[in-house]
Amino acid sequence: MSEDGEFRETFPALSKELEEKTTKTLKIDGVRTMAEETGPKGGTETFTPDVVDYIRRCDTVSQALEIVDYLMRRNEISPSQAREIKGQLKTDGLRSFGSKKEKDHYLHHGIGEE
């Protein structure tokens, strides 16, 4: 059996969509990035929060804007990143970066979990 025939057999609905060119597309927009999680050898993980982690702890857009300005002044984010983040805050709101992270979030959920 050819690869094409095997694909049709394994994924009949997807194959039909591709042949008929009826696939749907979705626009994904936002600046959310995963925070880098690195750990030294020996199993102990360290975690450095990024701008989104700080924003997700905010209660208001004004708090988030203050965080963005602070991180930009410290050169932890670039002016262009700050503009993108502020734009998303103003157009899509605070929770467009993810749900609120409460106090002791990582103690309850761990580093690798949302």
Q: 10 lies in a domain?
A: no
- Torsion, Cα of 63, 56, 48, 105 (10° steps): 120
Distances (CA, A) of 38 to 35, 47, 61, 65, 104: 10, 7, 29, 27, 20
pLDDT, residue 112, reads 55
The answer to whether 88 touches 31, Cβ cutoff 8 Å, is yes
Q: Is residue 36 a part of any domain in this protein?
A: yes
Domain membership of residue 12 (yes or no) is no
pLDDT of residue 42: 44
90's CB contacts (< 8 A; 6+ apart) are 61
pTM: 0.54
* Residue 61, domain member (yes or no): yes
Q: Is residue 33 part of a domain?
A: yes
Residues 6+ apart with CB under 8 A from 7: 15
Question: Is residue 51 in some structural domain?
Answer: yes
**What tokens were used for 76?**
């932890």
3-state secondary structure of 27: coil
For position 83, what pLDDT does the model report? 94
Instruction: For the chain, give the number of residues.
Output: 114
- Kindly give the parts of the chain with pLDDT less than 70: 1-2, 24-47, 104-114
Domain that holds residue 82: 27-109
Give the count of domains, the chain. Answer: 1
